[in-house]
Structure 1
């Protein structure tokens, strides 16, 4: 499975362009990625023009979720403990901006989406 659909990729790129034009924008996450066997989750809101560098809320399962950048190529190559690849949550629908997910994750020490 591809990590991003064409529509998600287009929205992530558009969010990045809007961010550059208007300054800080608190986008709703576009896609949720996760490892089914390693406890990692990423809620992504933007994709750089390079097509690889994404921005969002990253939780590596260590109790310290944080906002930051991640390489899609690295996520595609990542495998969990049982050898399973990163997957896209096909049912995820964001219901709040990224800052709200980040605040909740800081309190809970994990992403609960």
Structure 2
């Protein structure tokens, strides 16, 4: 199975997930951007559930014009293939410039995630 996130990203995602589990009011910037290179799906992830280490939370855009905040399992993302058979990839050049709520507001207005 291809690793979608680095250990450093996993550590940050888990820390954000722990803060959320403890009830802290946080609005972190996305830690990682995943996408399908041969389709229109994009995920901006901010946290991982500290209980299972697999359930991620963030802004999910399946390319249908309806991006939404929600959860997704990394193990499931690693099995997805686009129309040309290409797997989900990590955007190696992604630099978060906004908080998750800011990305979500822009995505709702535009119908897709904007960098």
TM range (shorter): over 0.9
* RMSD of aligned residue pairs (Cα, Å): 0.9
Whole-Å separation in 1 of the counterparts to 2:91 and 2:9: 12
Which structure carries more helix by proportion? 1
1:108 maps to what in 2?
110
Deviation at 1:108, TM superposition (A): 0.5
Whole-Å separation in 2 of the counterparts to 1:25 and 1:68: 15
| 2:47 matches 1:46 | yes
TM-score by length of 2: 0.95
Q: Matches of residues 77-88 of structure 1 in structure 2 within 5 Å?
A: 77-88=79-90
Q: Matches of residues 66-85 of structure 1 in structure 2 within 5 Å?
A: 66-85=68-87
**Structure 2: gaps of 5 or more residues:** none
Correspondent of 2:60 among 58, 65, 83: 58
Deviation at 1:21, TM superposition (A): 2.1
Report Cα offsets for 1:79-102 as digits up to 9, x if no partner: 000000000001101011000000
Give the number of equivalent residue pairs: 113
Whole-Å separation in 2 of the counterparts to 1:35 and 1:62: 14
Report Cα offsets for 1:30-62 as digits up to 9, x if no partner: 000000011000000000121110000000000
**Structure 1: gaps of 5 or more residues:** none
TM-score by length of 1: 0.96
